[in-house]
Amino acid sequence: MSIAADDLTLEELALALAPAVAQAAVFDGWTPLAVAGAAEMEGVDPDIAGLAFKGGAMDMIAAWIDSIDVAMAEAFSDEVLASMGVGQRIRAMLLFRLERMTPDREALRRALAIMAMPQNLKRAAKLGWRSADRMWRLAGDTATDFNHYSKRAILASVYGSTLAVFVDDQSEDFAETHAFLDRRLQDVAKFGKFTARFKRDDVEHFSMMRLLGRLRYPAR
C-alpha cells in the first residue's frame, strides 16, 4: 500500500518511510539513494521524501529507531504484559527489537558505524536513552527519583552492547546474542529495581569506539 504523503507532516512521513529506508540502506547505505529507493517502493515523490530526511543519515536512523519504538508499543499491549514480571517485560521488548531488525542487520551495522562517529555520539546517546525510556515506561516503570535515571542508563548500556554482538552473530537463531543478553541482565541484582551496578569487563563492556573498529564495512 502506498503512503499518502499529502496527508502527513514531514515528521510523520519520515516515520512512515523509515522501515523502507532501512531496507534500502542494506544495499545503498544511509544515503539519499536509500531514501529515493524507499520513496519509489512506497509511491512517494522522492523530492518530498528527501525533505523528510534533510538532516541526512542520522535523521534516517533516528526515524528508523522511532518506527521500532512504535511497533514495540503496538506489540506489547496491556493484555500481553499482564502475565509478565517487569524483568520479563524488558527482556521480551529487547528480543522484539532484535527480531524486528533481523532482516536489516546490515543496515544496522552501517547505522552503528555512523552513530559511533564523534560528531554523532551525543545524538546517538540521546536516541539510546529515549528507547530505554520508552521500554521502561511501557514496562510500567513510574520511578521519579535517581532510579529513574539509573534504570535508563543501564538499559541503554545493555541494549547497545547487545546490538554490538548481534550484528556479528553467526550462530543459529542468534543463540550467542540471546545468551549475551541474558548474561547482561543477570549482572543486575534484582533486575526489577535496577539498584546494582553491572560487573563490567573488557569483553562485555560496550564501547562505541571499539564497535566502530570492529565493523567490517565503511559507514555511508
- pLDDT tens string 95-109: 999 999 999 999 999
Question: What is the rounded distance in angstroms from the CA atom of residue 125 to the CA atom of residue 118?
Answer: 11
Range(s) of the domain holding residue 171: 85-214
Task: Quote the mean pLDDT of the chain.
Answer: 87
For residues 108 and 30, give the distance between their C-alpha atoms in angstroms, rounded to a whole number: 10
Say if 189 falls within a structural domain: yes
Q: Are 118 and 111 in contact (CB under 8 A)?
A: no
Residue 126 lies inside a defined structural domain of this protein: yes
* Residue 50 domain flag: no
Question: How many helices and strands in the chain, by DSSP H and E?
Answer: 11, 0
CA distance 110 to 108: 5
In whole angstroms, what is the distance from residue 182 CA to residue 200 CA? 14
Determine the residue type at 37: G
Is residue 190 in some structural domain?
yes
- Least reliable range by pLDDT among 20-29, 57-66, 70-79, 138-147: 138-147
| Residue 55 per-residue DSSP state | T
Is residue 34 helix, strand or coil?
A: helix
pTM, full prediction: 0.84
79 falls within a domain: no
- Classify residue 183: in a domain, yes or no: yes
Contacts 24+ apart (CB under 8 A), 141-148: 141/86, 147/193, 147/194, 147/195
With respect to residue 159, please indicate whether it lies within any of the assigned structural domains: yes
Q: Which of 68-77, 118-127, 158-167, 197-206 has the lowest mean pLDDT?
A: 197-206
If you ran DSSP here, which 8-state letter would residue 83 be given?
Answer: T
Per-residue confidence (pLDDT) for residue 179, from 0 to 100: 97
Q: How many domains does the chain divide into?
A: 1
- Which residues fall within 8 angstroms of residue 144, CB to CB, at 6 or more apart? none
In a domain? residue 6: no
